[in-house]
Structure 1
Amino acid sequence: MTAPTTIPDSDTAATTDHRVPVTVLTGFLGSGKTTLLNYILTAQHGKKIAVIENEFGEIGIDNDLVINADEEIFEMNNGCICCTVRGDLIRILGSLMRRRDRFDAILIETTGLADPAPVAQTFFVDEEMQTKLRLDGIVTMVDAKHVVLHLDESSECKEQVAFADVIVLNKCDLVTPEELDQLERRLRGMNAVARIVRTTNAQVELEAVLNVGGFDLDRALQQRPTFLEPEYPFEWAGAFHFDEGNATLVINDGPDPEMTVMAWKLPNTTADAIAEVQDRVAVFFSADPQEIAPGQGFTLGTTPVSVQLDRGGEKRFLLNLPERGAYALFTQHHPDEFSMRVEQQGHVLAAASEHVFNPEHEHDEEVTSVGLEFAGEFDQKKLNSWLGELLMTQGTDIFRMKGIVAIKGAAQRFVFQGVHMLFDGRPDRPWGETPRSSQLVFIGRNLDRQALHDGFHACLA
């Protein structure tokens, strides 16, 4: 097990990153990786790219073959790149760096059955690699027509999606727009922070896959404002003003035979009041719910209820309210999907404010993502200690970690990424007049969002 690298003092680090950018191209068998690779090699982009090709026999060339005098292709011919990162890959990368003047970037294509994690780890494990190369991004090709056959049974396919900085959704002409939207929602549920590019025959703008700056969260937020919205176990919350006594939830048949609901006391009915409690509610909402049948009631508390919606039309559930005031209802699905309404004393109540969570996401039971953001500055020693302990104890389940952090006393942004138990980070450009705000993203299995939130928050200076 390798301990994570500690955060270096920004005063002693270079402000400009002169390391060679490396792009890892991955994707399940038949997704179109080689098609994209050939497109990159023949496109007029003015870049000299060294390629490490791992699909033995697909291209069949000698190690030093130069294509169009612009690209060099090296072939790893002894099987899966996962098994050779300590040998052939490091050897080839070392050989490449002795000819640094002959290329501008490196592209590594893995086999369709490769777990991309060991490839990414190469750029953290070897100290010489860290000083000369930087992992610019992991680009995952996804076969829009056939990937659903593999997502449920292939851990490699899932991890290729989970590790991606960019997902190229290929062969879009082979599926309907509805199927494409459904697939994209599922991919978003597995990796909420990757940029998804739709294409046919792997024809993409090269800027989408080369020099992407995979962990440049500022750019990602510009492209998609909801980019860092964390995964919640509920899709909707509404704030209501109730009188003391009983209110009624009227719920009709919907896409699921049940729906989890939770009620929470609020200081007022504003959207800000919902935002203040949503993280705390999420912790309790994720617990095993108590099942209730139509006609039964529930009260406020830290245990969610699962309302049973057997076929047969409209169902009514009672909510007991101990006092008059503002309350929030959190629901697993959007109320519109179940024609849900809230009544009290014979009147239908409208939510004074509401919020829709994860509007583009569907949850995958194994792989999820967590995004955190805090204003203010962080204590360097506290952050080092927390990240070290976290990655040493939970690194197996953390596929990717990346972020931008404001360190107290440092004029520069600190940009980093981690792969399982390994961590790499460096000072970036100065903050200047930009407000100091830190973002941290985790992608992996069994992620405890509240624990990550509390741990990160405890590191504030």
Structure 2
Amino acid sequence: MTQQQKEFPVTVVTGFLGSGKTTLLNRMLQENHGKKIAVILNEIGDVNLDSELVVQSIGEELKIMNNGCVCCTVRGDLTKICLDLIKKKINFDHVVIETTGMADPSPVAQTFFMDENLRKYFYLDAVVTVVDAKHIDQNLAEIKETQDQIGFADVILLNKVDTIDEKRLQEVENKIKTINPIAKLFRTVNSNVQIGEVLAINAFDLQARIEINPDITKEYHEHSHDDAIQSIYLEENRPLDIEKVNRFMQLVLNELGNQVLRYKGILYIKNESKRIVFQGVHTTMGSNEDREWLPDEEKKTRIVFIGRHLPKDVLEEGISLCVAK
């Protein structure tokens, strides 16, 4: 069968902000499974920092969809990008779509069995949902999409299990099984699942889905996000002082802790030859050294804050106060 006639499996990776989706995606790209993966990344906001945080060796197989959620405004873009992979004869065996943390995966999945053009070349292999074990209660209580993501999964990675004890873990697993009793569940730290458990597993069963939700095959789809949630992008070209950054972030979390859902960025730190990647969820924050700055790369700090009613001017001023002397 030629590339043009072959049907390609599609894996949709979903999960709320900061659950570990990008970590899972990097595992998929780095493991020695012999598959050539085309990646489609979607993020809310004009700037997609996730593309910076994904392994950078995949070149033209990496497609970015900015400024819109894949489950609503950019579904047409999703169809176009997938068909472009075929049209441009890009060499790939498998498509992985990482949705924004605010996406309901059902319309994304729906695109692949409702769109006749896509059906000729692609089929939905599995919906994989990454769940943050520590923050699941908060996310379920505040964000409708968290329940949709769990309910629609074929495979669930209960991630960050090292952050809670066994008794709490059992409670969380029971809660997940109440929402979705049919998904395969794996406990993970840093999304460390065997890739054979999430790729090319032929787990999506449309008939089973229709039994759960008969409306899934209807074309009409209405999806609304929490309008209070916004994405704020900040840049700073001057090198920062890491101690000042840490103090500033502690202040942000103390003052805006309930409003901040997710933050991530690449920091340009004074006297540091490597980029520093920092990210966090709610009030849990961490950072690590990344690769060396490239000779022709513009050194600058780029940060995205995602949350409710965030004061952009305060965050901008805070970053400017972190500039090194």
Q: What range is the shorter-chain TM-score in? A: 0.5 to 0.7
Encode CA deviations 1:99-154: one digit per residue, 9 max, x unaligned: 45600000000000111112111112211111211000100000001011111232
Q: 1:126 to 1:85 in 2, by over 3 A?
A: farther
The answer as to 2:114 corresponding to 1:146 is: no
Residue 46 of structure 1 aligns with which residue? 34
The answer as to 2:179 corresponding to 1:186 is: no
Give the SS at the match of 2:157: strand
How much does 1:83 deviate?
A: 2.0
Give the SS at the match of 1:84: coil
TM-score (norm 2): 0.59
Give the SS at the match of 1:168: strand
1:245-394 correspondence to structure 2 within 5 Å = none
Q: Which has more radius of gyration?
A: 1
Give the counterpart letter for 1:201 in structure 2: N
Q: Structure 1 residues 192-201 or 207-216, which shifts more?
A: 207-216
The answer as to 2:151 corresponding to 1:162 is: yes
Give the counterpart letter for 1:35 in structure 2: T
The answer as to 2:165 corresponding to 1:171 is: no
Consecutive unaligned residues in structure 1, runs of 5 or more? 1-16, 218-386, 388-397, 404-416, 424-461
- Aligned identity (percent) is 48
How much does 1:45 deviate?
A: 1.4
Which among 198, 201, 221 is matched to residue 212 of structure 1?
201
Residue 21 of structure 1 aligns with which residue? 9
Q: Contact 1:120–1:419 (CA<8 Å) still a contact in 2?
A: no
Give the SS at the match of 1:148: helix
Over the aligned positions, Cα root-mean-square deviation in angstroms equals 2.8
Consecutive unaligned residues in structure 2, runs of 5 or more? 220-325
Residue 217 of structure 2 aligns with which residue? 421
Residue 296 of structure 1 aligns with which residue? none
Give the SS at the match of 2:71: helix
Q: 1:67 to 1:186 in 2, by over 3 A?
A: same
Q: 1:91 to 1:401 in 2, by over 3 A?
A: same
Which among 42, 50, 55 is matched to residue 59 of structure 1?
50
How much does 1:59 deviate?
A: 3.1
Q: Contact 2:75–2:108 (CA<8 Å) still a contact in 1?
A: no
Encode CA deviations 1:264-299: one digit per residue, 9 max, x unaligned: xxxxxxxxxxxxxxxxxxxxxxxxxxxxxxxxxxxx
Aligned length: 211
Q: 1:111 to 1:29 in 2, by over 3 A?
A: same
TM-score (norm 1): 0.42
Measured in 2, the distance between the counterparts of 1:98 and 1:402 equals 35
Encode CA deviations 1:12-31: one digit per residue, 9 max, x unaligned: xxxxx941000000001110
Measured in 2, the distance between the counterparts of 1:402 and 1:51 equals 30
The answer as to 2:87 corresponding to 1:87 is: no
Measured in 1, the distance between the counterparts of 2:39 and 2:90 equals 15
Give the counterpart letter for 1:420 in structure 2: I
**Higher helix residue share:** 2
Give the counterpart letter for 2:138 in structure 1: L
Give the SS at the match of 1:81: coil
Measured in 2, the distance between the counterparts of 1:419 and 1:137 equals 19
Encode CA deviations 1:151-181: one digit per residue, 9 max, x unaligned: 1232100000000000011001001011111
The answer as to 2:120 corresponding to 1:131 is: yes
How much does 1:186 deviate?
A: 0.8
Q: Contact 1:50–1:103 (CA<8 Å) still a contact in 2?
A: yes
1:77-116 correspondence to structure 2 within 5 Å = 77-100=66-89, 102-116=91-105
Residue 240 of structure 2 aligns with which residue? none
Residue 22 of structure 2 aligns with which residue? 34
Give the SS at the match of 2:61: strand
Measured in 1, the distance between the counterparts of 2:22 and 2:132 equals 13
Encode CA deviations 1:58-92: one digit per residue, 9 max, x unaligned: 2346xxx9954587110001221122344211110
Give the counterpart letter for 1:40 in structure 2: M
Q: 1:172 to 1:96 in 2, by over 3 A?
A: same
Measured in 1, the distance between the counterparts of 2:27 and 2:169 equals 23
Q: Contact 1:51–1:107 (CA<8 Å) still a contact in 2?
A: yes
Q: Contact 1:48–1:70 (CA<8 Å) still a contact in 2?
A: no
Measured in 1, the distance between the counterparts of 2:205 and 2:51 equals 36
